[in-house]
Amino acid sequence: MGDFLSTPDKSKESSDGENTYIKYGSSAMQGWRYRMEDAHLNQLNNNNYDIFGVFDGHGGKEVSIFVKNHFIKEFMNNKNTKYENIPDSLIETFLKMDELLKTKEGKEELYMLNKMSKAEDEEQDKKNKKNTENDFYKYLDPKNSEDCDIANITGCTACVVIIDEKYKRIYFANAGDSRAVICKKGIGYQMSHDHKPDSAKEKNRIYKSGGWVNEGRIKGNLNLSRSLGDFEYKQDKNLSPKDQMITAYPEINIELLDDTCEFIILGCDGIWDCLTPQEACDYVKDKLYDKEGKPKENIKLSKIIEQMMDDIIAEDINNENGIGCDNMSCIIIQFKHNKNNEK
């Protein structure tokens, strides 16, 4: 997440796509943060699966980008995907991300991603005419060392949606506090659980593994209880990956895809800090339909997200308690069977 800029970077990375069944729009904005640490993915028509994901990085962008680069390939190659056992495939793919991060090749890729990130930081400093008062702290950055295990001190959330066009099912997999919401007949339903250290289930695992929670943070540091990477909290060799202090093990939810499903909103916590699930659904529906409830023509979903981000970003970081100051990434997935439904 890092430091703040003096003025927000409101430039957007956006895309749109569609197939026979769905259309999607995605957008990401750096905002007030010193660097963009989110990553996201959209892929249609991969062997009857449409795949979407949001990965919110912390401690750097290296792990979130790594996961974006490898998730789809590992999911599609998983034996459970081939046997159409999607829940087990998602669980194994989440855990596989941690395994890959530990390999020699994974560590080398993280090191190269770190070099790219530092080059981007230098350009950011020039752009914002930042002085060198923080150079001393940059010099002490442990990532400067070639033998630094970057995934020890860097991680990301992962919230993934798989749409199975063949069997008309939607799979939601989540580790962390990014979130997926489905809108059905105008009502927003949260399809993922925020994994926070203060929740009873998460806290029980944390204490059993030798950790502790203070002011909502594990060991007073990380305010998440599930993530990819963050190997500093996954050191007990006597515990399974699922039972570590912080685990990459995802929670899975399944929803039948029927005519009541209107759209899905998938976003990082920068979105959900500002909007409740229902507020986000109401916002999107207001952009999709006119006052008479008729669908508006030629609406790009990415443009809805861009406007939403501009509406919820904080005007002043000193007066918002951090709300609206985070990186923002969001994907809207609209089901075409509802394009002619009334509001």
pLDDT at 128: 67
* pLDDT beyond 50 at 343: no
* pLDDT beyond 50 at 340: no
pLDDT at 1: 42
pLDDT at 17: 97
* pLDDT beyond 60 at 154: yes
Higher pLDDT, 159 or 340: 159
Listed ranges 281-285, 296-300, 337-341; the one with the highest mean pLDDT: 281-285
pLDDT at 341: 44
d(CA 109, CA 101): 9
Percent of the chain with pLDDT over 90: 82
pLDDT at 294: 86
pLDDT at 342: 43
* Mean pLDDT confidence for 35-62: 96
* pLDDT beyond 50 at 266: yes
d(CA 141, CA 21): 47
* Mean pLDDT confidence for 240-267: 97
Q: What is the pLDDT of residues 70-100, one digit of tens each?
A: 999 999 999 999 999 999 999 999 999 999 9
Higher pLDDT, 170 or 340: 170
Q: What is the pLDDT of residues 110-142, one digit of tens each?
A: 999 999 998 887 777 776 665 545 554 565 577
* The residue to which tokens 């989110």 are assigned: 38
Q: What is the pLDDT of residues 201-240, one digit of tens each?
A: 999 999 999 999 999 999 999 999 999 999 999 999 999 9
pLDDT at 180: 98
Higher pLDDT, 129 or 32: 32
Strands 22-33 and 328-335: antiparallel
pLDDT at 260: 95
- State whether residue 148 is helix, strand or coil: coil
Closest CA to 332 of 297, 311, 306: 306
- State whether residue 129 is helix, strand or coil: coil
d(CA 239, CA 234): 9
Closest CA to 10 of 301, 306, 304: 306
* Mean pLDDT confidence for 298-312: 97
Of 63-77, 169-183, 258-272, 289-303, the poorest mean pLDDT is in: 289-303
Strands 22-33 and 4-18: antiparallel
* Mean pLDDT confidence for 318-329: 85
Q: How far is CA 166 from CA 46, 169, 258, 271, in A?
A: 12, 8, 13, 31
Which run of H or E residues covers position 80?
helix 79-82
Q: What is the pLDDT of residues 183-206, one digit of tens each?
A: 999 999 999 999 999 999 999 999
Percent of the chain with pLDDT over 70: 92
